[in-house]
C-alpha cells in the first residue's frame, strides 16, 4: 500500500505527483483506492508517455487486487485490439511466450517500458486481461469514409467492434471539442470532422461494449485508456451509461501542471480523481 500523499510537504519537497478530488480538494491514495474498490468499472485516463501514470497504474492494479480478493479484479486495456484478444488471453494464462506475444499482438511502441510490467504482473497473479479497442484499420476506414464503410464488412469482421449501427452523440463535450479542432464539418482528412468524431466514437463504443461484456457481478474492471476517452465522464463513460445506466463508474485522469499546490481551473471536474504531474516530468517517448 502506498503512503498517503504528502499534501503538506516541507517547502523544499519536490513531489512527483499530487492527488485531488474532482472539486480540487487534496486527496490521498488510500482514500482514492477505497472509492475505486467500490466501483464496477474504473477508467484510468493516462497520458501515454507519462512514466508516473504507468507506475501508478501498476500500483493501483496491485492494491485493488489485494483489496478486492482473488477473482475480483479484471484489467482492460485500450492498447490491445479485439482481434488480438486470443493472444492477450494466452499470454495472461502463461501459455504464450513473450517473444511470440510481442511479435503477433501489435503492441504499442512503448509496450516494453510502459505496459509489459502490467501484463507480466497480471500473468503472475492470474488476473484476466481484456483488450477492448476496435482494430485501428476500421477506425481508419471510418475516418476516411464515415461509419457507412463498416456496413460492407463481413460478419466475422464486424464481431471486432460495437454492434452496428454506430450511434454518435455529437453534442458530447469531447466530440464538440474535436469538431472545433478539426474545423467543424469541413474537409479535414477528406471526410470532415464528423468522420473523425465517428472514428473516435467507434473506439469509445467498442471499449464500452467489451468492458460491459467482460464484467461479472462483484468484480471491478480496471481499464487503462488515454484520458481523452474518459475525461469529463465523456466518451467511454457515456457509452457505458447508455448500455447499463446502473453501473458504478469511477474515473481517474492524469494531467500536467506547472505547479502542484492546487488544481488548475481547467482541470476541475475532469474526473473523480485527478492526478497532477509536473509539466517538466521526463517522458517515456
Q: What is the spatial distance between Cα 4 and Cα 242, in angstroms, rounded to a whole number?
A: 35
Q: What is the DSSP letter of 107?
A: -
User: Domain 19-135+203-278: which CATH class?
Assistant: alpha beta
Domain ranges of the chain: 19-135+203-278
Coil, helix or strand at residue 42:
strand
Q: What is the spatial distance between Cα 29 and Cα 207, in angstroms, rounded to a whole number?
A: 27
pTM of the model: 0.92
Q: What are the pLDDT digits (tens) for 212-221?
A: 999 999 999 9
Q: What is the spatial distance between Cα 139 and Cα 196, in angstroms, rounded to a whole number?
A: 9
Q: What is the spatial distance between Cα 6 and Cα 136, in angstroms, rounded to a whole number?
A: 41
Q: What are the pLDDT digits (tens) for 266-283?
A: 999 999 999 999 999 999
Q: What is the spatial distance between Cα 184 and Cα 176, in angstroms, rounded to a whole number?
A: 9
Residues 6 or more apart from 100 whose CB is under 8 A from it?
none
Q: What are the pLDDT digits (tens) for 80-129?
A: 999 999 999 999 999 999 999 999 999 999 999 999 999 999 999 999 99
Lowest mean pLDDT, pick from 141-150, 179-188, 209-218, 263-272: 179-188
Amino acid at each position: 500500500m502506498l503512503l498517503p500523499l504528502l499534501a503538506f510537504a516541507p517547502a523544499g519537497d519536490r513531489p512527483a505527483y499530487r492527488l485531488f478530488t474532482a472539486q480540487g480538494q487534496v486527496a490521498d491514495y488510500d482514500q482514492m483506492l477505497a472509492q475505486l474498490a467500490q466501483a464496477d468499472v474504473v477508467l484510468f485516463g493516462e497520458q501515454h508517455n507519462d512514466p508516473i501514470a504507468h507506475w501508478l497504474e501498476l500500483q493501483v492494479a496491485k492494491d485493488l487486487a489485494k483489496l478486492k480478493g482473488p477473482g475480483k479484479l479484471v484489467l482492460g486495456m485500450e492498447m490491445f485490439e479485439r482481434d488480438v484478444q486470443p493472444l492477450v488471453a494466452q499470454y495472461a494464462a502463461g501459455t504464450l511466450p513473450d517473444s511470440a506475444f510481442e511479435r503477433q499482438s501489435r503492441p504499442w511502441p512503448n509496450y516494453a517500458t510502459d505496459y509489459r510490467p502490467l501484463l507480466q504482473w497480471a500473468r503472475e497473479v492470474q488476473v484476466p486481461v481484456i483488450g477492448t479497442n476496435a482494430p485501428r484499420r476500421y477506425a481508419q476506414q471510418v475516418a476516411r469514409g464515415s461509419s457507412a464503410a463498416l456496413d460492407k464488412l463481413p460478419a466475422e469482421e464486424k464481431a471486432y467492434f460495437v454492434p452496428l449501427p454506430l450511434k454518435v452523440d455529437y453534442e458530447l463535450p469531447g466530440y464538440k471539442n474535436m469538431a472545433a479542432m478539426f474545423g467543424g464539418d469541413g474537409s479535414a482528412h477528406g471526410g470532415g470532422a464528423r468522420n473523425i468524431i465517428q472514428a473516435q466514437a467507434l473506439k469509445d463504443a467498442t471499449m464500452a461494449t467489451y468492458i460491459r461484456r467482460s464484467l461479472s457481478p462483484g468484480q471491478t474492471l480496471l481499464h487503462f485508456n488515454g484520458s481523452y476517452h474518459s475525461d469529463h465522464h465523456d466518451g467511454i463513460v457515456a457509452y457505458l451509461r447508455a448500455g447499463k445506466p446502473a453501473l458504478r463508474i469511477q474515473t481517474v485522469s492524469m494531467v500536467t501542471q506547472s505547479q502542484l499546490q492546487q488544481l488548475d481551473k481547467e482541470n476541475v471536474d475532469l474526473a473523480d480523481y485527478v492526478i497532477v504531474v509536473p509539466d517538466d516530468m521526463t517522458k517515456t517517448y
